[in-house]
Amino acid sequence: MSDSGDSDVYWVPYKERPEWSDITPVPEDDGITPVVVIAHSEKFKDVYDYFRAVLQKNEKSERALHLTKEAVELNPANYTVWQYRRDLLKELATDLRSELYYVECVIKQSPKNYQVWHHRRVLVEWLQDPSQELDLTGDTLISDPKNYHAYRRDLLKELATDLRSELYYVECVIKQSPKNYQVWHHRRVLVEWLQDPSQELDLTGDTLISDPKNYHAWQHRQWAIKTFGLFDKELEFVDNLISEDVRNNSAWNQRYFVMNNHLGWSDLNVQKEICYTLEKIRFIKNNESAWNYLRGVLLHDKRGVSGNAVVLSFCEDLFKNRCHSPYLLAFIIDICDEVIKKGETSITYGPERALELCNALADKYDKIRTKYWNYMANKFKALIDLKATY
């Protein structure tokens, strides 16, 4: 639906129609000094000038009803037109089933139009007959799975529909559109209504096999696990994913989620996770995901990044064996930074070493972040210069 079209060839302006000669059109009032004047077509101006006129007169007639139809064709999102059309339908006792059919045609042309869906909802309430609505919303969602699902949920409640069949329907939509936030949210609401999460781990698991980094599947999985306490086998699930792809950042994030929300960060668990992560880093040293996870684990170590002897020894062994992974070098810089902030004196982890590593990263090993490493280098150089003054 638009300002103009092929039908304009046969269109007669209202100002030229004898049956409208009794109406004085009301132009749009943009004010004395409008900031932006919208360039409407002559047809648009004509239709809406006459619409404003009948609205002011509060005329309730068949010709006014027809006028609202033309106004909708030009702008189906105009709420005032739809509201006035409903007033006319009531006043004129119009056949509401023919109106339902008309609205269905508008929806097919403008399926993401909130105003037309609201208009249809009102009609269904007046008729007290929602028998066509699940089919209509189903057909709409087949062509556009990301269309808003709220109307369908209201129907499910009203019709007391079998929610398990709706779960199956949603599963089919997810398989076709697995990164569709709206359908995942719709499923979440259904599971909440049913209070039955028994299928959710399998569904999200299957989805993540084909796309291990599907954010919406992970989000839904975390919600189901946390809401219904489904933590028991999650660490095993995550471990399998990491074993298949040690660089799977989403799986590492899920591991942290399980530790943070279920197993907890006791000293024993911290040490277990450190050992687990170091083994994965030893396997692939240039793995940002594992290094980031190690940082996250050490947040729960009272000794910090610089106080864990196992981690320090591991990093130094890698460095001595000429490992120049930017993540290793950056980690050692973090160790230096923490030692300096603690006010500790260390030959191994002083500003001099941090400066050397920053320069190495800027010049050779992490050139994409050269400006950042130069910034950090200046910071450590300033500390060295300050120390020299004492």
Question: DSSP letters of 150-183?
Answer: HHHHHHHHHHT--HHHHHHHHHHHHHH-TT-HHH
* Polymer length in residues for the chain: 390
8 A C-beta contact, residue 305 and residue 334: yes
The DSSP element (H or E) to which 310 belongs, if any, is helix 309-320
Handedness of CA 134, 135, 136, 138 (dihedral sign): positive
Task: In whole angstroms, give the CA distance from residue 107 to residue 97.
Answer: 15
| Catalytic, out of 15, 90, 112, 367 | 112
Q: What angle do CA 383, 389, 390 make, to 5 degrees?
A: 100
8 A C-beta contact, residue 197 and residue 227: yes
> Six-digit token pair at 93?
């006792």
Handedness of CA 274, 276, 282, 283 (dihedral sign): negative
Task: In whole angstroms, give the CA distance from residue 31 to residue 11.
Answer: 30
Give every CB contact of residue 22 below 8 A, 6+ residues apart in sequence. none
Terminal CA-to-CA distance of the chain, rounded, Å? 78
Is 342 catalytic? The answer is no
Task: In whole angstroms, give the CA distance from residue 285 to residue 349.
Answer: 21
Question: DSSP letters of 320-345?
Answer: HTT---HHHHHHHHHHHHHHHHTT--
Task: In whole angstroms, give the CA distance from residue 51 to residue 4.
Answer: 17
Which has the closest alpha carbon to 140: 125, 126, 150? 150
Residue reference for tokens 């000038």 = 49
Task: In whole angstroms, give the CA distance from residue 257 to residue 263.
Answer: 10
Which has the closest alpha carbon to 44: 64, 19, 73? 73
Question: Which residues are marked as active site?
Answer: 112
